[in-house]
Amino acid sequence: MAELRKASIAFSGSPLDRADNLRADPDALSARMDWKARLLLLDGLTPALDSAGMLVWGTLADAPDNAELVFLGLDRSDGGEKACFACVPPEGDARPRMANPDLWAIMTSLAPDQLALYGGARSLVDWHARHRFCAQCGHSTRPAKGGWQRSCENCGAEHFPRTDPVTIMLVEHGQGDDRRLLLGRGLGWPEGAFSALAGFVEPGETIEEGVAREVLEETGVVVRDVHYILSQPWPFPSQLMIGCVGTAQGTEITLDETELVEARWFTMEEVQASLDCTPDAPMRCPPPHTIAHHLFQWWVAQ
C-alpha cells in the first residue's frame, strides 16, 4: 500500500526522462531542437487542453521570437524519442493555488502523468519568469543548461530553480479508538475547511525540528516522535511537500491568530466522515490531489 500511495499522488510520476546529460551539452541539446521536438502549449502558465482533456503540444516553430526555451526532458511514450520544451511566459505567478480557481478543474481532469509533466514544467518556467535578474548584482541573466540554470554575464553568479521544502504534519494524540488529529483552518479559508498544519523548513533545522517548531508556533502543542510518511511536488509555485506524523504531548491549543483562524482535534470517525463527504461531516477535507488528503487516508487506515 505504501508504494501504491507514493505512485499515485498528484504531480508525481512524470513520463519524461529528464536527460540531465543533455543540459550540460549545448551541441547535443541543439541537435534535439529539430522538427520532432515538441513545445508544451501554455497561455501564460495555464495549459492548453484538447477535447480529450490532454495537454496540447506544438513544435518549436510555435515559440515566439526570442522566447526563452527550457528543456523538459525526453518523451519515449510512443516508442520514438522526442525532446520536450516549454516557453518562459512574460510573467510568473507566485500566488498560492487557492487563488487560481481555473487550475482546480485542470487538476481533476488531467491524467496523472499529464498533470505531473505540467506541474514540473509550470514550476520551472514560472521560476524563470520571476528570476530574470541577478539577485547578487541586479544585472539581467540568461538561461543556461537547457533552462536548469540562469547565468549572470556581469558578476558570473549562477542561479538555479528553487524547490522549497515544506513540512505538513499529522499531529495525533491518544491511543486506539481515542486517537485524535490536530487540524487547522488558515486565514481566509472558508468556514469548515480544515487541513494539516504546514510550514516551510528554515535554514538550520532538520525536517523533524521544522515539524515541531511549526506545530508549537501555530498551536502551542509540543510534538515528539516525528516520522516521515510521503512527499509530493507542489507547483504553486514550487514546493516539496514533506508529509510527517508526530505525537502531541498534550491537547491544549494556544492559537497563533496571525496564521490560523481556528484549530481543533478531530476523531477518527470525523476524519473518515470528512473523507467520505458524508452530509454530517464536521469539516471540508482538502481535495484528493493534495498530500493532506493522502495523509488523512493514511491515518484512518492505521
Binding residues for a copy of itself, rule: CB under 8 A, are: 3, 6, 9, 11-14, 18, 20-21, 24, 92, 116-117, 119-121, 123-124, 127, 130-140, 148, 157, 159-165, 200-209, 213, 217, 225, 228, 230-233, 235, 238, 240, 242, 256, 258
Give 50's Cβ-side CA count (13 Å radius).
9
CB of 215 vs a copy of itself, minimal distance in Å = 13
CB of 276 vs a copy of itself, minimal distance in Å = 26
Q: Which residues, 6 or more positions from 195, have their beta carbon under 8 angstroms from its beta carbon?
A: 183, 184, 185, 186, 286, 290, 292
* Comparison of 208 and 262: residue with beta carbon closer to a copy of itself: 208
| Residue type for position 226 | V
CB of 72 vs a copy of itself, minimal distance in Å = 9
* Comparison of 31 and 94: residue with beta carbon closer to a copy of itself: 94
* Comparison of 117 and 295: residue with beta carbon closer to a copy of itself: 117
CB of 180 vs a copy of itself, minimal distance in Å = 23
CB of 30 vs a copy of itself, minimal distance in Å = 18
* Comparison of 255 and 281: residue with beta carbon closer to a copy of itself: 255
* Comparison of 113 and 262: residue with beta carbon closer to a copy of itself: 113
| Element at 246 (helix H, strand E) | strand 239-248
As a three-state string, the secondary structure of 110-173 is: CCHHHHHHHHHHHHHHHHHHCCCECCCCCCEEEEEHHHCEEEECCCCCEECCCCEEEEEEEEEE
- Whether the CA torsion 101, 105, 106, 108 is positive or negative: it is positive
CB of 141 vs a copy of itself, minimal distance in Å = 8
Count of CB atoms situated within 10 Å of the CB of 125 = 25
Give dist(CA 105, CA 235) in Å, integer: 15
CB of 80 vs a copy of itself, minimal distance in Å = 21
Cβ 253 vs Cβ 227: under 8 Å: no
* Comparison of 51 and 258: residue with beta carbon closer to a copy of itself: 258
Cβ 231 vs Cβ 242: under 8 Å: yes
* Comparison of 249 and 278: residue with beta carbon closer to a copy of itself: 249
Give 288's Cβ-side CA count (13 Å radius).
9
Give dist(CA 188, CA 245) in Å, integer: 25
